[in-house]
Structure formats: structure tokens, C-alpha cells
Amino acid sequence: MIRTPRLLIRRFTLGDLADFLAYQGDPVVRRHMQGSPMSGREARRYLADQAAMSEDLLDCWHGFAVQHLEQDRLIGDIGVYLDAKLAGVGDVGFQFRPDQHRCGYGYEAMAAFLPYLFYSLGLDRITASCDRANTASFTLLERLGLRRGSESGAAGGSTLRYELSRRDWAGAARTPPR
């Protein structure tokens, strides 16, 4: 578990199901995401799998619940994909309830998550991608220190790619957690 002044980043529980279904299926949240929202059955299985997953399991998404401490409810999630072919690299992502957008929770959660990725998991580099039209997400990634890399897709690139090395992150006057 990771605690910030306003948030608790933790493993999912089945008690998160209603809140998770509400935001991950919201059209505002899905606007820049590929695929379809999970069904109730899929979400239940996903939350159960995430709750029991070992942190060193490769070739899968490791999702974490973001709980607002004062509201005592799930407001979003963050996570990392660990690919066996890309040792030392994790691809990060996040999603939050629309009524919690523009409150700084995404930045707060991800800023607290980076030390976990670099020091606890021992990653050397993180990557992220987002739709070019998703200005909130790419602005957040840039505020966190990720640098824009390649673009993919038709007509000048519809998907923006970002990355950040542990060395660059640590060189930005950050210290490892105690």
C-alpha cells in the first residue's frame, strides 16, 4: 500500500466492484480508450485476479485501486504492464472517475507510484501512451517528467508515446523512499 495525503493506493478487493464498474464504463472515461467496458462478470474476475496477483508476474497488467481517504471510496485506478520480452520496463496507465478529474488525484497517485515502480519493482524505464486528443493525460505524463517519444497511427500520429528512465527520474532531485 502507498499512502499520500489524500489517497491510498492498494490492491483491489471485490468490495470495489460497484465503483469500478461505474467509472470504467463511463463514456467520459472511455472516450480515449480502446476496447469496451468490462461486464459485471469480467470486472469481478479482473478484481479477484488483481487482488491475488504476485507483483513479479510478467506478461500481464498489474492494476491498483486508488481510494480517496476522506471520501472512503474508490475514485480510480493506476497500473503497470510488465512484459517478459522487455525486462526492466513497465508500461503505465491510469483512469479516474469523471467527477474526480482536475483535482490533482492522477498526478498525486502516479507521483507516489513511480518510486514503487523504480525501487520496489526495480524497473529501469517506464513507458506510457495516450491518444493525441487526450490532453489531460499527456499533460499529466509530461508533469511527471516523462518525455515524448514516437507517435503512431495515421495522419501524423494519433497515439503519443512517452518514456522515463529511472536515472532521469532520480536525477530530477527525487530521493528513494525509506
Dump pLDDT digits (tens) for 18-53: 999 998 988 877 887 888 889 999 999 999 999 999
Within-domain flag for 62: yes
Q: What are the backbone angles phi and psi of residue 103, rounded to the nearest 5°?
A: -115, 0
Q: For CA atoms 89, 145, 3, 80, give the dihedral sign.
A: negative
Reported as half-sphere exposure (CB side, CA atoms, 13 A), residue 79 has a value of 20
Within-domain flag for 97: yes
Within-domain flag for 77: yes
- When divided into structural domains, the chain yields a total of 1
CB environment 144-168: b (16+ within 10 A), e (fewer): bbbeeeeeeeeeeeeebbbbbbbee
Across the beta sheet with 73-82, what order do the strands follow? 2-3, 7-10, 60-68, 73-82, 89-96, 125-131, 159-165, 147-152
The fraction of the chain above a pLDDT of 70, given in percent, is 92
150 three-class SS: strand
Within-domain flag for 178: no
Within-domain flag for 133: yes
**Residue closest to 34 by CA, chosen among 139, 129, 144, 100:** 129
**Residue closest to 74 by CA, chosen among 167, 172, 8, 150:** 8
The CATH number linked to 62 is 3.40.630.30
Within-domain flag for 176: no
Give the pLDDT mean for 107-118.
96
60 three-class SS: strand
Length of the chain: 178
Task: Give residue 43's pLDDT.
Answer: 94
Dihedral of the CA atoms 129, 177, 2, 76 (nearest 10)? Answer: -20
Q: Is pLDDT above 50 for 178?
A: no
| Amino acid in the structure at residue 38 | M
Within-domain flag for 175: no
Within-domain flag for 145: yes
**Residue closest to 102 by CA, chosen among 137, 78, 74:** 137
Dump pLDDT digits (tens) for 58-96: 999 999 999 999 999 999 999 999 999 999 999 999 999
Rounded to two decimals, what is the model's pTM?
0.89
Domain span holding position 118: 2-170
